């Protein structure tokens, strides 16, 4: 199954300083048929106006990953972490037993980001924070987050591998049993098994052994379990390969 969701099909929320597209039920938007995809609970594509942002607010028992596409975001949280996030940075906050944080655009130019939430593998863990830089390569997949950083990137306390791809050569991506793939088109034009993806589009992929990715656009790939007892991602050490190994 390959379920394409076009950019305009995502729920749009505009509230003064924030222009957001919510891929799943969130806040005031509720759709019982669109609650999550495996442990992926929230995918928000946000544009935050200058000199504005989210004031201090609480979270708990959630893995929160932020990728910036433009502007500078200033982070503060109640565990003592503070600093700036820029394009080429990935940030992860484990809310765990409870944390409060703020995300502010202190500049005049808009900030564009994707904020992505996962249900954790274990509740009540100690809150933590991580931030790292990445550079997308032309010959494969760039890991930006993985379980306990086993495959690189920032550590996520869930069986999820997040990668970025930007290449002109086709890529065959294998999915071991019980796993799915969430594909988001960050920029440029791409295709999933021949189906065009334009910036802002997303695809939910399940119950297939492999897919073919084409085009020169930048894609965010989220490899995750869809059922209990799912095999490990082929990108993890000891991960299960399908009959046709993932080509990177």
Torsion sign over Cα 27, 97, 87, 222: negative
CATH class of 2-225: mainly beta
Give the strand pairing for 111-118 and 128-133. Answer: unpaired
Helix (H, G, I), strand (E, B) or coil at 156: strand
DSSP E strands in 16-136: the ranges are: 18-22, 40-48, 52-59, 63-70, 73-77, 82-85, 89-94, 99-105, 111-118, 128-133
Torsion sign over Cα 118, 65, 31, 208: negative
Q: How far apart are CA 137 and CA 186, in angstroms?
A: 15
Q: How far apart are CA 161 and CA 150, in angstroms?
A: 9
List of residues 6+ apart from 23 with CB closer than 8 A = 5, 10, 11, 42, 43, 44, 45, 202
Q: Residue 73 in contact with residue 113, Cβ under 8 Å?
A: yes
Q: Residue 107 in contact with residue 48, Cβ under 8 Å?
A: no
Within 13 Å, how many C-alpha atoms sit on residue 139's CB side? 0
Helix (H, G, I), strand (E, B) or coil at 106: coil
pLDDT per residue as tens, the chain (248 positions): 899 999 999 999 998 999 999 999 999 999 999 999 999 999 999 999 999 989 999 999 999 999 999 999 999 999 998 999 999 999 999 999 999 999 999 999 999 999 999 999 999 999 999 999 999 987 779 999 999 999 999 999 999 999 999 887 898 999 999 999 999 999 999 999 999 999 999 999 999 999 999 988 999 999 999 998 899 998 998 886 543 334 44
Residue 3 pairs in a beta bridge with 204
All structural domains of the chain with their residue ranges: 2-225
Q: How far apart are CA 242 and CA 223, in angstroms?
A: 14
C-alpha distances (whole Å) from 22 to each of 25, 27, 184, 202, 223 are: 7, 10, 13, 11, 20
The Cβ of residue 227 has, within 10 Å, a number of other Cβ atoms equal to: 12
**Encoding tokens for residue 114?**
């994707």
The predicted pLDDT at position 243 comes to 32
**Encoding tokens for residue 54?**
């989210």
Indicate the pTM of the whole model.
Answer: 0.94
Q: How far apart are CA 243 and CA 225, in angstroms?
A: 19
């Amino acid at each position: 199954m390959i379920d394409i969701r076009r950019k305009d099909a995502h729920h749009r929320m505009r509230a003064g300083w924030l222009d957001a597209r919510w891929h799943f039920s969130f806040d005031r938007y509720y759709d019982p048929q669109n609650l999550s995809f495996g442990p992926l609970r929230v995918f928000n594509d946000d544009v935050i106006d200058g000199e504005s942002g989210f004031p201090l607010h609480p979270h708990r028992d959630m893995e929160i990953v932020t990728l910036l596409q433009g502007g500078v975001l200033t982070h503060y949280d109640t565990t003592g972490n503070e600093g700036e996030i820029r394009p080429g940075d990935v940030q992860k906050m484990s809310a765990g037993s409870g944390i409060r944080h703020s995300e502010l655009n202190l500049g005049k130019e808009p900030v564009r980001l994707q904020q992505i939430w996962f249900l954790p593998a274990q509740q009540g863990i100690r809150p933590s924070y991580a931030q790292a830089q990445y550079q997308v390569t032309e010959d494969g997949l760039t890991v930006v987050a993985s379980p306990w950083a086993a495959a690189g990137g920032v550590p996520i306390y869930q069986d999820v591998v997040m990668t970025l791809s930007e290449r002109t050569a086709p890529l065959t991506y294998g999915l071991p049993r019980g796993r799915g793939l969430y594909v988001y088109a960050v920029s440029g034009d791409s295709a999933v098994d021949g189906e065009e993806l334009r910036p802002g589009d997303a695809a939910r992929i399940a119950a297939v052994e492999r897919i073919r990715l084409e085009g020169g656009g930048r894609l965010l790939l989220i490899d995750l379990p869809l059922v209990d007892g799912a095999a490990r991602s082929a990108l993890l050490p000891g991960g299960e390969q399908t009959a046709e190994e993932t080509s990177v």
